[in-house]
Chain A
Amino acid sequence: MTRAAHAAGFRIERTTRAGRAGLVAAVLVLAALVTVPRWGDASTMRILVEFIALLVLAQMWNLLAGYAGLVSIGQQAYVGLGGYALLVLADDLGVNPFAAVPLAGLVAAALALPTAALVFRFQGGYFAVGTWAIAEVYRLLVANSSALGRGSGRTLKAVFPLARETRELTTYFLALAIGVAALVAVYAFLRSRWGLGLMAIRDSEPGSEALGIDVFRTKLGVYLGVAFGTGMTGALIYLNLLRVSPDAAFSINWTAYPIFIVVIGGIGSLEGPLIGTALFFLTRELLADQGAWYMILLGALAVGAMLVYPRGLWGLVADRWDVRVFPVQRRVAWDRPAREP
């Protein structure tokens, strides 16, 4: 707070009461999650790993589309590349399979650079289709590679020597670490000056450029960072599933689920993907045997949300009660009216 602002009778605030409550709640949830291996069984941990993976994918897509305005339909490229990078690093190059997970994220980010050189030539709708087309190119290249097992894929063998409990426990804590790191990283990024610049770009590209923000580099940075997070999550998913095949690893569902989660939960907020992922898992348990109907329901909810509540469920809550659990906005708080002489 500057002296000038104080003299003018207002302060710039970011911390909210809900934010402090949210921090306490987040710590409690994390503490509960740490104790899961003590009382939960393997299937509970497997579902939680899946939950965390989808939550991170949703947060990443939300950062990309909801904040940077890069509406990609091709993020499955990085899930697939992450999964295959894990396979090559752990099975072919002898890297520890758990250490290979963050390295797989780096591989995805490295491949995102030439990809960006191509897709950044497009804007809006054609960017969306362009990213999708390139994801297909990656899928077909992998499916044509005999070293990667062609269309039928390969099984991750590096984890076989490990005891099953060790593998499950390590995978679970790795997932937890990735989930927390992703959430903290996105939150810290959005509260930083780069995050402020990103939100300025979202609101007006020419305006932010005039203020000295490098629009291209900011967007490219977000695209690469998101590719890292998505690739790491892809590796985590296949550390959990153990069997990698091109059609599954490069499936459009790895982008469709996050899109539905984010749009229904609330795009352009950190709370939205959390709510969306919870809702996604709840409805999936209810409609377990109805694969196609489940997707129709999700699609219809997302289309309906876009038409009626473009900021999703969290937008409704935030507007109704003015709460921000993860406040990234700066707001003006007026002091008591100054006593006029």
Chain B
Amino acid sequence: MAWVDTILQGLLLGGLYALFATGLSLIFGVMRIVNLAHGDLSILAAFLAVVVVETLGWNPFAALVVVVPLLAALGYALQSLVLNRLLGRGILPPILVTFGLSIIIQNALLETFSADSRRLDPGGIETASVALGSQLAVGWFPLITLAVAVLILVGLQLVIGRLSLGRAFRAVSDDQETAELMGIDHRRLYALAMALSLAIVAIAGVFLGIRTTFTFASGPDRLLFAFEAVIIGGLGSLWGTLVGGAVLGIAQTVGAKLSPAWGILSGHLVFLAVLLLRPQGLFTKARRVA
């Protein structure tokens, strides 16, 4: 029963990783860039939630009302003022600029909030659990996280599949020049995609802060887990991120149960195994050109 419990915990942890992975996957899908500051922006969101909680006395869940729009606005500004100026200059500039941002954000967080680890306290729900039979129990909070991840994926699926905004995303992703001829302003669209990505990242960051402690340096690991979930699930597959997140989560909890020091490493090793044996990912229907 202990193993079933471990795997269940890993599966639920996958919900959190899927939240991180979705934002990364969305950006890559629409404009073929990887935001290396992805993880650090989620930690920035968690610290902003700390500020809201401490100054206004709100519950961390309520802080989402402030933090999510703030990060979305930051994403819009980042794309339209900085990243859009790098369009058409190859792969190097966006990688280096987002890497520079990653280092800037980490050190700015260190200067502002010190190196102490923080945690968001939602008032009891993080420890409450629901019993499944006599020996199994799952925490309410991991369940909520997974539910939110599924809701966001369903929402994103609807946006991309049904709305004209999503149609424009797909058009720009497939053929930017022709999309422009059809009257689509790709720069504005990229800014909207980044805003959407960072809104999801904000939710992921706040949920991470409720689940576990974090410091200014927690960002890069979030980026790596998100990336691994995307690759395990299959590049360009929205639901694949959920599968990838779950595989990564299970690998980490099972590894940690075998030996506490091996948790994160097991996740990395499963990622490498998938990369070696099934580079197109577990959940990919059609191979998309990366």
Picked from B101, B111, B228, the residue with its CB within 8 Å of the CB of A133 is B228
Residues of B contacting A123 with CB < 8 Å? 91, 290
Q: How far is the CB of B79 from chain A (nearest CB, A)?
A: 13
Q: Which of B207-236 contact A (CB under 8 A)?
A: 220-221, 223-224, 227-228, 231, 235
CA distance A236 to B231 in the complex (A): 36
Q: Contacting chain B: which of A218-226, A296-304, A332-340?
A: A296-304
Q: Using Cβ atoms and an 8 Å threshold, which residues of chain B touch A118?
A: 272, 275-276
A128, A129, A137, A292: the one within 8 Å of B111 (CB): A292
- Mark out the residues of chain B between 1 and 39 whose CB falls within 8 Å of any chain A CB in the assembled complex: 28, 32-34, 36
**B89: A residues at CB distance < 8 A:** 310
Which residue of the partner chain A has the closest CB to B93?
Answer: A306
A84 at the B interface (CB under 8 A):
no
Chain B residues in 8 Å Cβ range of A300: 100, 104
Residues of B within 8 A of A256 (CB): 99, 103
Do A73 and B104 contact each other (CB < 8 Å), given the known contacts A126-B290, A128-B95?
Answer: no
A residues 251-303 near B (Cβ < 8 Å) are: 252, 256, 259-260, 263, 267, 291-293, 295-296, 298-300, 302-303
Contact of B85 with A by CB under 8 A: yes
Query: What residue of chain A has the Cβ atom nearest to residue B33's Cβ?
Result: A125
In angstroms, Cα B33 to Cα A71, docked, is 13
Is B97 located at the chain interface by the 8 A CB criterion?
yes
Select from chain A the residue with minimum beta-carbon distance to B276.
A118
Nearest residue (CB) in A for B111 is: A292
In the complex, are the beta carbons of B94 and A137 less than 8 A apart?
Answer: no
**Total cross-chain contacts (CB, 8 A):** 125
- Picked from A65, A140, A260, A293, the residue with its CB within 8 Å of the CB of B107 is A293
> A158 → chain B, closest Cβ, in Å?
28
Determine the chain B residues whose CB is within 8 A of the CB of A136 once the complex forms: 221, 224, 268
**Interface residues of A, count at CB 8 A:** 42
Q: Is the CB of B86 within 8 A of A307?
A: yes
- Pick the residue among B85, B93, B235, B272 that contacts A137 (CB under 8 A): B272
A132–B223 Cα gap in the complex (Å)? Answer: 10
Please indicate which of the listed interface residues A118, A128, A137 has the most CB atoms of chain B within 10 Å of its own CB: A128
Give, as a whole number of angstroms, the nearest-CB distance from A29 to chain B: 29
On whether the beta carbons of B290 and A69 are closer than 8 Å, the reply is no
With known contacts A126-B290, A144-B265, A303–B223 Cβ distance under 8 A: no
Q: Does B264 sit at the interface, judged by CB under 8 A?
A: yes
Does A133 contact B227, Cβ atoms closer than 8 Å?
yes
Q: Does B279 contact A (CB under 8 A)?
A: yes
Q: Does B108 count as interface, using CB distance less than 8 angstroms?
A: yes
When chains A and B are docked, how far (Å) is the Cα of A306 from the Cα of B262?
39
Residue of A nearest to B259 (CB): A144
A299 touches which one: B86, B107, B264 (CB < 8 A)? B107
**Binary flags per residue of A289-328, CB closer than 8 Å to B gives 1, else 0:** 0011101101110110011001000000000000000000
- How far, in whole Å, are A298 and B99 apart by their CA atoms in the complex? 12
Q: Return the chain B residue nearest A307 by Cβ.
A: B85
Known contacts: A129-B224, A299-B101. The answer to whether A124 contacts B34 by CB under 8 A is yes
Q: Which of A69, A123, A303 has the most CB of B within 10 A?
A: A303
Evaluate whether A128 and B220 lie within 8 angstroms (CB atoms) in the complex, with A71-B96, A137-B268 already known. Answer: no
Q: Whose C-beta in chain B lies nearest to the C-beta of A290?
A: B111
Q: B82 near A: Cβ within 8 Å?
A: yes
**B231 to chain A: which residues have CB within 8 Å?**
126
Residues of A within 8 A of B264 (CB): 140
| The residue from B36, B94, B95, B110 contacting A292, defined by CB atoms under 8 A apart | B110
Instruction: Check B96 against A125 for contact (C-beta < 8 Å).
Output: no
B269 interfacial contact with A, CB 8 Å:
yes
Inter-chain CA distance A132–B104, complex, in Å, is 18
- 18 A–B contact pairs at CB < 8 A? A124-B95, A125-B36, A125-B95, A126-B28, A126-B34, A128-B95, A140-B268, A141-B265, A144-B265, A291-B107, A292-B107, A292-B108, A293-B107, A295-B104, A296-B107, A303-B101, A306-B93, A310-B93
Chain A to chain B: the 4 pairs with minimum beta-carbon distance, closest first: A125-B34, A124-B91, A299-B104, A292-B107
Extra inter-chain contacts (8) besides given A124-B32, A302-B100, CB under 8 Å = A122-B290, A129-B36, A129-B227, A141-B265, A299-B104, A306-B86, A307-B82, A307-B85
